[in-house]
Amino acid sequence: MKWETIVGLEAHAELSTRTKVFCACEAAYGGEPNTRVCPVCLGLPGALPALNRAVVDSALRVALALGARVADVSWFERKSYFYPDLPKGYQITQAQAPICRGGGLKIFIPSIGWKTVRARAVLIEEDSGKLIHDGARSLADFNRSGVPLLEIVTEPDMRGGAEAAAFLEALRETLLYLGVSDCKMHEGSLRADVNVSVRRAGSDADAQPGARVEIKNLNSFRAVARAVEAEAARQIAALESGADVARETRRWDDEAQVSIPMRAKETADGYRYFREPDLPPVVVDERWLAGIRDAMPELAWQKRERYARDLGLPVRHRSTLTRQKNVSDLFEAVAARSDPIGAAWVSDEILNIARNARIPREDLTFHEGDRAGSGRHSLDVRKLAALASLKTEGRISREAFKLAAEAILERDAEPVAFIAKKRLAKLPDAAAAAMAAAAVRKVLAKYPEAADECRAGKTKAFEFLMGRVMRKLGAAVDPGMARKALEDGLRDLAGSPAG
């Protein structure tokens, strides 16, 4: 019997405001425990919250990006529950009247194409503190208490772990381009709760699925996908054995690949929601919203359309270069000083080198000339543009291009000087062809057995010989020319085509 998985998601994004949502304490990650706190975020008696306008501005940007309906009037409520890292005994949030409702995001699923996941609401709330478990003790750090959060709640439109992960990726991309959150999932500034249920496949689309199970605090795309699939499998196994599925909250152990029960699922009544008496309603007029609309940045999907329309970039480059805003900013800075195709090649190569060196993409920044760059891996745009020109003008080989890009990223090398010092400049065609032919003759003389295997049609032997030829040639000869020279040499040696 086939089953269908139904998934809804609640994403929590910490906002990149300078101060917390209801007080003037710094909203920053880490630091010495309990040093960024005050009577308001500690929930001391008599302390009164005051709403940070920058938090509402961020929420409005997200609402416009999602195409949501902004509420003329919204308000805050107290959500009461006990947990050691919640000093007030309640969380200030929005439940009945969130800042916006509706809208959605498009995601691409290879098996079905584009799909829209609807948003139910976006609401403003405060984060809790953090528990640090030290052997037999648990210590509370309240630095994070009161950090502003946006909760983005979806409709149950996703059908499996891959779709849930794709939505979270699309949301992360949107938040980064809006500049409202750094979305560092390993630091908890973007995390998700997934609600999973199953129903028999082929049932009416409006048919109610089974009991909904929530899995809390997932902090990677892979964890979201794996948790959804594992939970769906657990529920299906229970139902097919005749057992019931309890409506509960569970946590995910990504190492063991299992979810573990935490508590029975609370209902809204259990949280005892009531209006926050110390905060007035939030009134958003058209003038405020128009100001936010006029300052909206170009989003990733808009960049992809522009790169196709105005720059003629192929799909591969458009997808890679817009995945993160800092990468598209780097590409555009290089393209302004060279040309789009060369800038795309350079940016792609930098990303490949960074990935192999385990440098996070978000750590890549750029600067111009002698101006100091920010971050550990700040790249000189003028040097990258010079490298792009060398490549598009055909003055260096693919291998020399890769070596020069690596030198720029790792030690801020000057590409023209680096190419000259390493003798990597591309030779004229006649000289390169003669050099390649000479290298091929030496390699074939040294490895006659491999040449015989090539004659027998073994492609591994050909690649072995090709590797030895390129070692002799270095980066001064294009690999395509070297490959042709090897094919010609084998043909002359064997009297028939090889390789």
Q: Is pLDDT of 267 > 80?
A: no
- For residue 362, the tally of other CB atoms under 10 A from its CB is 16
Report residue 76's pLDDT band, with 50, 70 and 90 as the boundaries: very high
Report residue 21's pLDDT band, with 50, 70 and 90 as the boundaries: very high
Of the candidates 471, 480, 476, the one whose C-alpha atom is nearest the C-alpha of residue 446 is 471
Q: Would you state the pLDDT for residue 424?
A: 78
197 contacts 235 by C-beta, under 8 angstroms: yes
Report residue 498's pLDDT band, with 50, 70 and 90 as the boundaries: very low
Tokens of 296: 């909206």
Q: Would you state the pLDDT for residue 61?
A: 98
DSSP line for 201-268: TTS-TTS--S--EEEEEE-SHHHHHHHHHHHHHHHHHHHHTT-----EEEEEETTTTEEEEEEEPPPG
Q: Would you state the pLDDT for residue 451?
A: 83
Q: Give CA angle at 415 (411, 416), nearest 5°.
A: 145
Q: Is 457 helix (H, G, I), strand (E, B) or coil?
A: coil
Report residue 163's pLDDT band, with 50, 70 and 90 as the boundaries: very high
Q: Would you state the pLDDT for residue 207?
A: 63
CA 134 to chain centre: 32
Q: Give CA angle at 87 (83, 92), nearest 5°.
A: 90
Query: What is the tens place of the pLDDT at every residue in 390-434?
Result: 888 888 888 889 999 999 998 899 998 988 887 777 767 777 788
Q: Is pLDDT of 32 > 80?
A: yes
Q: Is pLDDT of 164 > 50?
A: yes
- For residue 193, the tally of other CB atoms under 10 A from its CB is 19
216 contacts 262 by C-beta, under 8 angstroms: yes
- Indicate the DSSP class of residue 158: B
Q: Would you state the pLDDT for residue 203?
A: 66
Query: What's the CA gap between 336 and 334, in Å, rounded?
Result: 5
- For residue 275, the tally of other CB atoms under 10 A from its CB is 13
Amino acid sitting at position 477:
V
Q: Is pLDDT of 486 > 80?
A: yes
74 contacts 99 by C-beta, under 8 angstroms: yes
Q: Is pLDDT of 308 > 90?
A: yes
The fraction of the chain above a pLDDT of 90, given in percent, is 61
Locate all alpha helices (DSSP H) within 277-374, ordered by sequence.
286-294, 300-306, 315-321, 325-335, 340-356
Q: Would you state the pLDDT for residue 497?
A: 46
Q: Which residue did the predictor score with more confidence, 146 or 438? A: 146
**Burial bucket for residue 140 (CB in 10 Å: 0-12, 13-18, 19+):** middle
Query: What is the tens place of the pLDDT at every residue in 181-205?
Result: 999 998 999 999 999 999 988 766 5
Q: Would you state the pLDDT for residue 374?
A: 53
Q: Is pLDDT of 359 > 50?
A: yes
Query: What's the CA gap between 159 and 146, in Å, rounded?
Result: 34
108 contacts 114 by C-beta, under 8 angstroms: yes
* Max Cα distance, the chain (Å): 95
Report residue 1's pLDDT band, with 50, 70 and 90 as the boundaries: low
278 to each of 95, 275, 450, how far by Cα in Å?
A: 16, 9, 82
378 contacts 459 by C-beta, under 8 angstroms: no
Non-local CB neighbours of 463 within 8 Å, separated by 6+ positions = none
Mean pLDDT of the chain: 89
Q: Is pLDDT of 461 > 90?
A: no
Query: What's the CA gap between 495 and 30, in Å, rounded?
Result: 70
Q: Is pLDDT of 373 > 80?
A: no
Q: Is pLDDT of 232 > 60?
A: yes
- Indicate the DSSP class of residue 426: P
Query: What's the CA gap between 287 and 298, in Å, rounded?
Result: 21
1 to each of 246, 271, 330, 477, 481, how far by Cα in Å?
A: 21, 38, 51, 61, 58
Least confident segment among 172-181, 332-341, 448-457: 448-457
DSSP line for 228-243: HHHHHHHHHHHHHTT-
The domain limits of the chain are 3-288, 298-421, 429-494
Q: Which CATH number fits domain 429-494: 3.90.400, 1.20.120, 1.10.10, 3.40.50?
A: 1.10.10
Least confident segment among 50-54, 62-66, 164-168, 200-204: 200-204
The predicted model gives 249-271 an average pLDDT of 84
Least confident segment among 4-13, 67-76, 197-206, 415-424: 197-206
141 contacts 20 by C-beta, under 8 angstroms: no
Tokens of 457: 């049609």
